[in-house]
Structure 1
């Protein structure tokens, strides 16, 4: 149990740093594009494409952190039920559904990378496997967080780790 909690928190930290770095990169690319377009009158042709691909990675990597911290979309249908055991099982079942979708995303993302990964981006020449790989990496990260949340819901005080509280 302790390993699962550590992995969940580790993925949250990795996701935080990855999203932060990608956000900084995206802003710098946008600033470079605006500067070269309006100040130098010679725009960088590849920055728009890179910002688009950075946004794809931001989306998939950020899903894990958003889920871990409870900022992701949630189902509150049974929020008024005060039974703690029911709430724990409810959260575990919801996370099992999320885990099922993660497995689907990982599987289909891997197939997509294998079948279409050799394509290259028009402006940068970047192999698209690096862009499509965001689905696989994000799916794995979200799956680890989902497993962490299932264990946290069903065993809230296991190994002296508070349930759902990332460290």
Structure 2
């Protein structure tokens, strides 16, 4: 059961990271396009601004699950170093529960915000609802839950290795 979940988690977190990277490529490409249209052609494309922002928001919320999975989000380095091995496992659970509580709030209010924003349209893209931009919070949060549980089952503490 544990190995099955960890395989699922690797695929889900990997997928989220691939999409986050794609959002970064989209944001960079649109930024370059915006520079060309604004300063070279002197015909600014206003629609690129909102798409850049939206892709950056999606990039962040889909990149966070990888950070959670690597144990790099909530740093309790000193407590881990000073604690005996049994206490470290208790700390793993405390960090996991605190992170899940935070992500639960993000999912709950993110979904509420997305629903409320569904009546708004994007500036420059009047036919597209803001729902799609706000949806990044609950979707990213769901991927975070998978990464947090994966880190609890198979702990990785990247911040301890890179903090030196």
| Both proteins in one fold, TM over 0.5 | yes
Number of residue-to-residue matches in the alignment: 156
Equivalent in the alignment of 2:161:
none
Equivalent in the alignment of 1:44:
45
- CA positional deviation for 1:17: 0.4
Structure with more of its chain in helix, by fraction:
2
After TM superposition, the score normalised by the length of structure 1 is 0.85
Give the Cα–Cα distance (whole angstroms) in 1 for the partners of residues 4 and 119 of structure 2: 36
After TM superposition, the score normalised by the length of structure 2 is 0.87
- CA positional deviation for 1:85: 1.9
Which of 131, 136, 139 aligns to 1:137? It is 139
Equivalent in the alignment of 1:123:
124
Equivalent in the alignment of 1:152:
154
Larger deviation: 139-148 or 4-13? 4-13
Give the Cα–Cα distance (whole angstroms) in 1 for the partners of residues 92 and 70 of structure 2: 14
Give the Cα–Cα distance (whole angstroms) in 1 for the partners of residues 99 and 108 of structure 2: 14
Contact 1:92 1:149 in 2 (8 A): no
- CA positional deviation for 1:48: 1.1
**SS of match in other structure, 2:82:** coil
Equivalent in the alignment of 1:15:
16
Gapped regions of structure 1 (runs ≥ 5)? 154-162
CA RMSD of aligned residues (A): 1.8
- CA positional deviation for 1:82: 4.5
Give the Cα–Cα distance (whole angstroms) in 1 for the partners of residues 44 and 53 of structure 2: 16
Q: Deviations over 1:108-141 (max 9, x none)?
A: 1111222222211111122011001000101101
- CA positional deviation for 1:73: 4.2
Structure with more of its chain in strand, by fraction:
2
Q: Deviations over 1:123-166 (max 9, x none)?
A: 1122011001000101101011111112224xxxxxxxxx679x
Q: 1:164 to 1:5 in 2, by over 3 A?
A: farther
Q: Deviations over 1:19-59 (max 9, x none)?
A: 11011111100000001111111111111111111111111
Q: Deviations over 1:90-125 (max 9, x none)?
A: 112101110111111111111122222221111112
